[in-house]
Amino acid sequence: MVPAYAAVLAVSFADSPDLSLYPKLASKEGCTQIIEDLTASPEFLTGGSWLVLFNKEPAAVILSSRGKGTKYGKIEVVSVAPRHRRVKVGTHLVNKASWSFRDRHLSEARLGVSRSNRNAVRFFRSMNFHVSDSKDQD
């Protein structure tokens, strides 16, 4: 499944301002490395991570983990291919991850978003995520 996850990341972030912060997102190989690193972590939550296919085409992905001390859930990556945006698939995935955190008795959901990625900031604000000026120390 790693190639499918990496394909979604590579397509989704091709036009993202996050490329300057995360240059690995610029290539399929870099995206594969990101996926492999995240899934190898002992905090990775398989039950909080999904790949969405549309007509057998990878369309969206969310990867989640337990935060430091296992008191909260952490959304590591949310990625929706451009042709599948604006149909609420990202909202659905974030909601599913949030429910998986609740099922594991994790008190809250956290994530990191670069302020330069205005679309991501707008998306997460619309889902009632609090935007903090401080950087998480995980």
Q: What is the CATH number of the domain that holds 23?
A: 3.40.630.30
Asked whether residue 136 is domain-assigned, the answer is no
- The set of residues, in sequence order, having a beta carbon less than 8 Å from that of 66 and lying 6+ positions away, is 43, 45, 72, 73, 74, 104, 106
Confidence (pLDDT) at 112? 86
Asked whether residue 79 is domain-assigned, the answer is yes
Q: What is the pLDDT of residues 4-22, one digit of tens each?
A: 888 888 888 888 888 888 8
Q: What is the pLDDT of residues 56-81, one digit of tens each?
A: 888 999 999 998 777 899 999 999 99
Say which DSSP state 87 is in.
S
**What does the pLDDT average to over 43-57?**
92
Asked whether residue 131 is domain-assigned, the answer is no
Confidence (pLDDT) at 133? 56
Chain-wide mean pLDDT for the chain?
A: 88
Assess contact for 45 and 64: CB atoms under 8 A.
yes
Asked whether residue 137 is domain-assigned, the answer is no
Is 91 a residue whose pLDDT tops 50?
A: yes
Asked whether residue 132 is domain-assigned, the answer is no
Q: Decide: helix, strand or coil at residue 61.
A: strand
**What does the pLDDT average to over 41-58?**
92
- Domain carrying residue 10: 2-126
Is 24 a residue whose pLDDT tops 70?
A: yes
Total structural domains in the chain? 1
Is 35 a residue whose pLDDT tops 90?
A: yes
Q: Given pLDDT bands bounded at 50, 70 and 90, which one contains residue 138?
A: very low
